[in-house]
Amino acid sequence: MASHATPDTSKYYVPDPSYYPFALTFGLALIVISVWGLLEQKNTTWTVYAGVPVALWIIYRWFRKVSHESEGGFYGAQVDRTFRWGMTFFIFSEVMFFGAFFGALFYARQLSVPWLGGEGAKLSTNLFLWPGFEAHWPTNGPAGIGGDFNTIPEWGIPFLNTVLLVTSSFTVTWAHHALKESKRTACLAWMVVTVLLGATFLYFQAYEYHEAYTDPSVNLTLGSGIYGSTFFMLTGFHGMHVTLGTLMLIIITLRLAFGHFKPEQHFGFEGVAWYWHFVDVVWIGLFTFVYVL
Amino acid sequence: MLTKHVWSRLVALAALLASGAAAAATYDPGQVWNMPVGVTELSREVFKLHMVIFWVCVVIAIVVFGAMFYSVFAHRRSRHPKPADFHESTSIEILWTVIPFAILVVMAIPAAGTLIRMEDMRGAELSIKVTGFQWKWQYEYVDKGVSFYSTLHADSNHARQLHSGIDPNTIPNYLLEVDNRLVVPTGTKVRFLITANDVIHAWWVPDLAVKKDAIPGYVNEMWATVDEPGIYRGVCAELCGRDHGFMPIVVEAVDPPAFEQWLADRKSGKATAIGHGPAPVLVASAGASAAAPSPQPAAPATEVAAAPAPATPAAAADGGKVYNAQCAACHQPGGQGMPPSFPALVGSKVVNGPAEAHIQHTLKGKNLMPPFAHLSDADIAAALTYERTSWGHKAGAVTAEQVKAQRGK
Amino acid sequence: MAHHDQSHAAHDDHAHHGPVQLSDGFGKWIMRWITTTNHKDLGTLYLLLSCTMFLVGGLMSLVIRAELWMPGLQFVDPEFFNQMTTLHALVMIFGGVMPGFVGLANWMVPMQVGASDLALPRVNNWGFWILPFAFSMLLSGLFMDSGAPAGGWTMYPPLVLQTGSSFPMLIFAIHLMGISSITGAINVIVTILNMRAPGMTLLKLPLFCWTWLVTAYLLIATMPVLAGAVTMLLTDKYFGTSFFSAAGGGDPVMFQHIFWFFGHPEVYILILPAFGVVSTIIPTFARKALFGYDSMVYAVASIAFLSFIVWAHHMFTVGMPLAGELFFMFATMLIAVPTGVKVFNWIATMWRGSLTFETPMLFAVAFVFLFTIGGFSGLMLAIAPADFQYHDTYFVVAHFHYVLVPGAVFAIIAAVYYWIPKWTGVMYNETLGKAHFWLSAIFINVLFFPQHFIGLAGMQRRVPDYALAFADINALSSIGAFGFFVAQFLMLYNFARCVWFRNGMQPATQRVWEGAHGLEWTVPSPAPYHTFETPPQIDEGELTSVHDEFDALDHHRINK
Ligand code: HEA
Ligand code: HEA
Ligand code: CUA
Ligand SMILES: [Cu+2]
């Protein structure tokens, strides 16, 4: 039946029943139970050893399945549009997720810290509760939570990282062009460059964190008041997204190496590229508002 | 006992349902069915706004629901078998966009005016700092050297315990009475500086039309000029944990000379009066209607002045009293607590352990337990002694000197 | 590869023989529901989950109402009471109403736009199966020594940070629900944008799809924000951050801003699909096209837009600067305008129609009536100086239950009565349906109307005990609560008969309701397991929008 004929793409492809979603959720739930044990000192931390393999295995299977379906020609033009819309809205939701943390940053800088310093209608706040505190940024608050700290000089590693990420956005675009022009070797080469740029970014980011935590002259931690909170939350979640993006870049690079993707249809590739651009744009926002201004 | 109550309640309700008049006969309708008009200029303005918007809604409702029910009646299939086939009309759609908009604009103007007046803090003659704690209020008369705590009155506190066996109906002003009332002068613009110590609370006195959140780490301002002497009751209006429902507010407005007198007395008696004291003399006379201001005229100054606790060691040394007022809400009068959040004191390691640790625990608090450092040395000593010698405990007494020595450690 | 091909062949079998039945073996049958990618199966699962959660949340509300039955504490400790209030709200909103509407969307959106399934069926399955795990986590606190979350559904810090061991579970449960909502929303949007049958232009879309399209946008824009907010709670509690602590330069009120930036659109997420349901049902039973289709669409869009700029009306008392209070007051009042347009359009649709009052219609009319009452109290709340008196009292509780229970919940109930003959192929019992309606309509008002009064008179929310003056009204409200809850079993029995005990029941016709229009009525009842595998030819008469000079009803008669 279907196995021998070319799939009929005039019909919208509805996948077969699949246990992946259920199993994936099961894996995630095990991980959550483990994290709960970690945070609340309960002896359930071991469940991570069951949860992670289950989740990784299912993710692997699921990706493999999608790539087989794609390469097998099951996805017609309409399915392709579905993926485009779907990815667009997924990225939009991610933007809103970062929006919450940017919102916290702006709120702290524009409202709460000035209020604590007695600006606006909150003079009494300063007089009665935090006498002597003057609003400034960066700050760890009127109680100096986390002790004195210094910020990371923006024109050092952060600027370098900006250059790396922006460049990688270009290289992934060049790879895309190469793919569309059927220059697979060039495409693969640009992809490898992109992955390396992403990995280098992550290395520097990790290095910066290490310095921030271990260098007593910096002493910047998650606990350094509102500055440390917003700094690590924003860069941390961004870093996680870069990690995810790099993994996805590696996956599509491997798929390219296996000969996947056609010059005219390769949404798997494009979706990852979009995601990568998104990560890049978020970084530019971070660089501007967290490091420079 | 309980079931009997349920039945009597049911009977009462049946009566209430049977005749609307029953309701009116039981209580002052204005106080149970609607917002109080209150005793400040702004509270009257707010009440007026409330009634205006209410009647606007009623009129719109009559028109809209009138049309709907007319249609339900007249355009039923049995009366109107052939449906019309119109399905749009630009002019009428514009009309019913513009008219509501106009109504809203007309509503918005007075509302904005009142809001602007409420936020105008200028010219306050007296400032009172109000701090919310889990679960009590602290009042500090700024620059007057007077400050004290105000907690739920012991009678209400006993009756409101789960399975207390006490009928709340026998408690005057159930849940709306405190040990120490906030006293304010009439005809004076009083500014409230509202903040909190632990979680968010909200200081609300309906008759003053003041409700402001008490945010830890920030001070919010609000003001009121009370016109009439009287007793005005309010509650904490922001969920603040287990006993959110049990931290009422009682404001007593007296004329300025009486206020000055009270202030002076309070100040001189300050050393021991802060924290707790016997309930003010006025409690019992405050009238049965819960949300209503006291029907009696304002208390004369002398009567109010009698409120502060006398500075005799005997009063302070009554450990059981301190315990019941301060500790029993969580640890229960019998000391059995409410595990897991509120541990039992009976057989507790802390209570039966070294006095120093016990005192530290009390002064600093732990987990859900707030610090009690604001109590006097004598009160703490008395309460701890009570804990250490009751319920079969033999851990021995704690002295005020021991408490004093632990402070600041 | 081989594996894949086999399973694909299996898929074709499904198409020809229908889904696995219980008679094929229990294990197989369970696996069908766990692995299904069929929008109708998943719609059913969502609705069953919703129903279960409504009952769980309803039981919690009965604990609340039992304790409030008379002054004094009779049954539960205040801490447990707060846990009930918190969980009641979270379970009702995230477990009852939202999955209820997602279930309806699962069933109806593909059938209404002429698609074979939702756009991303496997993701759809994931979105559903996340939920049972998420709710197990949320409720797990009830079995922990330190108890369930008790800080209110709004989870304000610092109070919520005092939660015991169940705190991480609360946060992760919300993360998971967020993922589920986002996957569901993406599915709905993409299906509507990408999979409409030829000829179904956007302005001919059934209104249920339109409202869901807008709802899905709201979900995608706000659920991630909630996820971010609760993540900050988690780090404040366990990782030493200072987002919500003044000592470190943060602000507890900041959480409220972020929460309500989600929270206010969220309440429209709960009501917009209800608007869609009512806009579908009223024309059917008025036998007349929906009045002002275009303005309905624009009104929904305006409500959605405005919903993003009114959030701080929940925070009038936090001590915002005056300019902020004024702005949020004005913006909030504006929402009455587009909502009014919708109410007027519904009434104009009924006007000079030929009305009959089958159960779905009864619920729809009650919706218009009671939702509007809730809207009026909302408008009163919007007046900031008056809200200083209303805020955090039972007046607010009355407001939102009027829009949520006779609003959102009545709409879900109406929709199930309306479409269940299409789903199951048999007609529910109309007499029972009417009895259920009247009992519900009466008790819901006994339950919530008196709460307006005690709220105005000064009874604050979230308390297990109250001053004596409020005793009688609270008792009345509690009677309403028990009556309402019990009345729901008439409905459950009625539906259970359609689904499981259908012997001798009257089969439903294809169109079910003579005034109904839309693609879903062009397939047999019960709807086959797969519908519209190839896009249907659309008959203009089915388009409820009726833009063209077209008498929908007459056309339908000709069709017969
Ligand atoms: C389905 C959910 C839903 C809906 C639709 C609404 C609709 C509205 N809500 Fe409500 N609201 C909630 C759910 C909802 N709300 C919840 C859950 C809370 C409490 C959360 C918590 O604290 O736990 C809340 C709380 C809440 C508050 C905060 C109260 C407080 O805590 O102090 C306010 C204040 O402005 C408010 C306002 C409004 C307004 C103006 C509308 C408007 O959209 C209503 C518009 C409708 C109409 C006005 C009726 C129809 C119109 C006409 C017939 C036209 C003509 C009318 C006029 C010109 C008057 N709501
Ligand atoms: C959609 C939301 C929703 C719903 C349906 C309800 C339903 C009810 N609610 Fe409540 N409630 C809230 C949302 C909701 N509520 C919120 C947000 C709060 C604030 C919490 C807080 O302060 O933090 C609250 C708080 C709240 C309080 C105040 C508690 C306090 O302040 O301490 C009270 C008290 O009376 C109450 C009572 C009730 C009652 C008696 C019902 C009854 O109507 C329940 C009866 C049962 C049903 C409605 C189920 C019927 C439906 C079915 C059986 C399934 C049908 C399904 C299909 C066919 C698929 N609720
Ligand atoms: Cu304090 Cu509520
Ligand atoms: Cu709102």
Residue A94 to residues A272, B193, B359, C130: CA-CA distances in angstroms?
Answer: 14, 41, 51, 19
The confidence score (pLDDT) of residue A5 equals: 53
The confidence score (pLDDT) of residue B313 equals: 40
The confidence score (pLDDT) of residue C14 equals: 44
Q: Record the tokens describing residue B258, joined without a space.
A: 């009486």
The confidence score (pLDDT) of residue B273 equals: 35
Put simply, the answer to whether B169 touches C71 (Cβ < 8 Å) is yes
What average pLDDT does the segment B182-211 reach?
A: 94
Helix (H) or strand (E) holding B47: helix B41-74
Write a three-state SS string for C320-375: CCHHHHHHHHHHHHHCHHHHHHHHHHHHHHHCCCCECCCHHHHHHHHHHHHHHHHH
What average pLDDT does the segment B198-226 reach?
A: 95
Confidence category of residue B290, pLDDT binned at 50, 70, 90? very low
Contacting chains of A (3 CB pairs or more, <8 Å) are B, C
The confidence score (pLDDT) of residue C227 equals: 97
pLDDT at residue B22 above 60? no
What average pLDDT does the segment B75-100 reach?
A: 90
Residue with tokens 């029993």: B328
Confidence category of residue B317, pLDDT binned at 50, 70, 90? low
Report whether residue C55 contacts ligand 2, using a CB cutoff of 6 Å: yes
pLDDT at residue C150 above 60? yes
Q: Record the tokens describing residue C195, joined without a space.
A: 């999979």
What average pLDDT does the segment A51-78 reach?
A: 90
Residue A254 to residues A58, A248, A267, C188: CA-CA distances in angstroms?
Answer: 18, 10, 15, 32
Nearest atom in ligand 3 to B134's CA: 1
Name the nearest CA neighbour of C37 among C156, C119, C99: C119
Q: Please report residues of C whose CB lies closer than 8 A to that of B204.
A: 392, 460
> For residues C296 and C279, is the Cβ–Cβ distance under 8 A?
yes
* C-alpha of B291 from chain center: 11
What average pLDDT does the segment C20-47 reach?
A: 92
Confidence category of residue C297, pLDDT binned at 50, 70, 90? very high
Q: How far apart are CA B324 and CA B163, in angstroms?
A: 16
C220-279 pLDDT tens trace: 999 999 999 999 999 999 999 999 999 999 999 999 999 999 999 999 999 999 999 999
The confidence score (pLDDT) of residue C11 equals: 45
> CB of C162 within 8 Å of any CB in chain A?
no
User: How many angstroms does the Cα of residue C169 sit away from the middle of ligand 1?
Assistant: 30
> For residues B291 and C457, is the Cβ–Cβ distance under 8 A?
yes
The confidence score (pLDDT) of residue B310 equals: 36
The residues of C assigned a catalytic role are 88, 117, 153, 180-181, 264, 266, 268, 279, 313-314, 339, 342, 461
The confidence score (pLDDT) of residue B1 equals: 40
User: How many angstroms does the Cα of residue C365 sit away from the middle of ligand 2?
Assistant: 21
What average pLDDT does the segment B114-139 reach?
A: 92
- φ/ψ of B87, rounded to 5, equals -150, 15
> For residues C103 and C43, is the Cβ–Cβ distance under 8 A?
yes
The confidence score (pLDDT) of residue B31 equals: 67
Confidence category of residue B407, pLDDT binned at 50, 70, 90? confident
Residue with tokens 């979105």: C127
3-state DSSP assignment of residue A9: coil
The confidence score (pLDDT) of residue C149 equals: 94
Least confident stretch, B108-112, B298-302, C77-81, C369-373:
B298-302
What average pLDDT does the segment C328-357 reach?
A: 95
What average pLDDT does the segment B91-115 reach?
A: 94
The confidence score (pLDDT) of residue C169 equals: 95
Put simply, the answer to whether B72 touches C146 (Cβ < 8 Å) is no
What average pLDDT does the segment B262-279 reach?
A: 58
The confidence score (pLDDT) of residue B47 equals: 94
State chain C's mean pLDDT as an integer: 91
Q: What residues are paired with B182 via a beta bridge?
A: B251
> For residues A223 and C239, is the Cβ–Cβ distance under 8 A?
yes
Nearest atom in ligand 2 to C464's CA: 32
Q: Please report residues of A whose CB lies closer than 8 A to that of B219.
A: 122, 124-125, 128-129
What average pLDDT does the segment C360-364 reach?
A: 97
What average pLDDT does the segment A220-226 reach?
A: 93
What average pLDDT does the segment C49-56 reach?
A: 97
Least confident stretch, B83-87, B213-217, C82-86:
B83-87
> For residues A176 and A260, is the Cβ–Cβ distance under 8 A?
no
Confidence category of residue B401, pLDDT binned at 50, 70, 90? confident
User: How many CB atoms are closer than 10 A to CB A258?
Assistant: 10
C448-474 pLDDT tens trace: 999 999 999 999 999 999 999 899 999
Residue C350 to residues A12, C285, C344: CA-CA distances in angstroms?
Answer: 39, 8, 10
What average pLDDT does the segment C33-59 reach?
A: 95
> For residues A195 and A250, is the Cβ–Cβ distance under 8 A?
yes
The confidence score (pLDDT) of residue C13 equals: 43
What average pLDDT does the segment C429-434 reach?
A: 94
Which residues are within 5 Å of ligand 4 (an ion), measured at CB?
A: C 264
Least confident stretch, A63-67, A217-221, B294-298, C314-318:
B294-298
pTM: 0.89
> CB of B217 within 8 Å of any CB in chain A?
yes
Name the nearest CA neighbour of B169 among A143, C468, A284, C302: C468
A248-287 pLDDT tens trace: 999 999 999 998 898 888 999 999 999 999 999 999 999 9
pLDDT at residue B367 above 70? no
Put simply, the answer to whether A129 touches B129 (Cβ < 8 Å) is no
> For residues A29 and C137, is the Cβ–Cβ distance under 8 A?
yes
Q: Record the tokens describing residue C38, joined without a space.
A: 């069929």
Highest mean pLDDT among B170-179, B293-302, B385-394, C327-336 belongs to C327-336
Name the nearest CA neighbour of A290 among A160, A163, A197, A159: A159
- DSSP labels for C18-81? -S--GGG-HHHHHHHHHH---HHHHHHHHHHHHHHHHHHHHHHHHHHHHHTTSSS--SS-HHHH
User: How many CB atoms are closer than 10 A to CB C285?
Assistant: 26
Q: In chain C, what is the straight-line distance between the N-terminal and C-terminal CA atoms, in Å?
A: 49
C490-544 pLDDT tens trace: 999 999 999 888 888 888 888 999 888 889 999 998 999 988 888 888 877 777 5
What average pLDDT does the segment B182-207 reach?
A: 94
State chain B's mean pLDDT as an integer: 79
Least confident stretch, B118-132, B164-178, B327-341, C527-541:
B327-341
* CA–CA min distance B59, chain A (Å): 39
Question: In sequence order, what are the residues at sequence separation of 6 or more whose Cβ sits closer than 8 angstroms to the Cβ of residue B122?
Answer: none
Q: A49-86 burial, b for 16+ CB within 10 Å, e for fewer? A: eebeebbeebeeebeebbbebbbbebbbebbbbbbbbb
pLDDT at residue B302 above 60? no
pLDDT at residue C312 above 70? yes
Least confident stretch, A253-257, B93-97, B98-102, B363-367:
B363-367
Interface test with C, best of B45, B162, B236, B243 (most C CBs within 10 A): B162
Q: Strands across the sheet with B136-141, in order?
A: B146-150, B136-141, B126-133, B189-196, B220-225
What average pLDDT does the segment A123-131 reach?
A: 91
> For residues C414 and C340, is the Cβ–Cβ distance under 8 A?
no
> For residues C285 and C356, is the Cβ–Cβ distance under 8 A?
yes
Confidence category of residue B5, pLDDT binned at 50, 70, 90? low
The confidence score (pLDDT) of residue C502 equals: 81
Which ligand is closest in space to the CA of residue C264? 4
Report whether residue C89 contacts ligand 2, using a CB cutoff of 6 Å: yes
User: How many CB atoms are closer than 10 A to CB C549?
Assistant: 6
> For residues B160 and C465, is the Cβ–Cβ distance under 8 A?
yes
> For residues B294 and B168, is the Cβ–Cβ distance under 8 A?
no
The confidence score (pLDDT) of residue C505 equals: 82
What average pLDDT does the segment C355-370 reach?
A: 96
Least confident stretch, B325-329, C78-82, C385-389:
B325-329
Q: B279-295 burial, b for 16+ CB within 10 Å, e for fewer? A: bbebbeebeebbbbbbe
A142-198 pLDDT tens trace: 999 988 999 888 898 999 999 999 999 999 999 999 999 999 999 999 999 999 999
The residue whose CA has the least distance to atom 47 of ligand 2 is C58
- φ/ψ of C507, rounded to 5, equals -70, 150
The confidence score (pLDDT) of residue B368 equals: 62
Interface test with C, best of A1, A4, A16, A45 (most C CBs within 10 A): A16
Name the nearest CA neighbour of A237 among A143, A105, A39: A105
pLDDT at residue B66 above 80? yes
Put simply, the answer to whether C248 touches A145 (Cβ < 8 Å) is yes
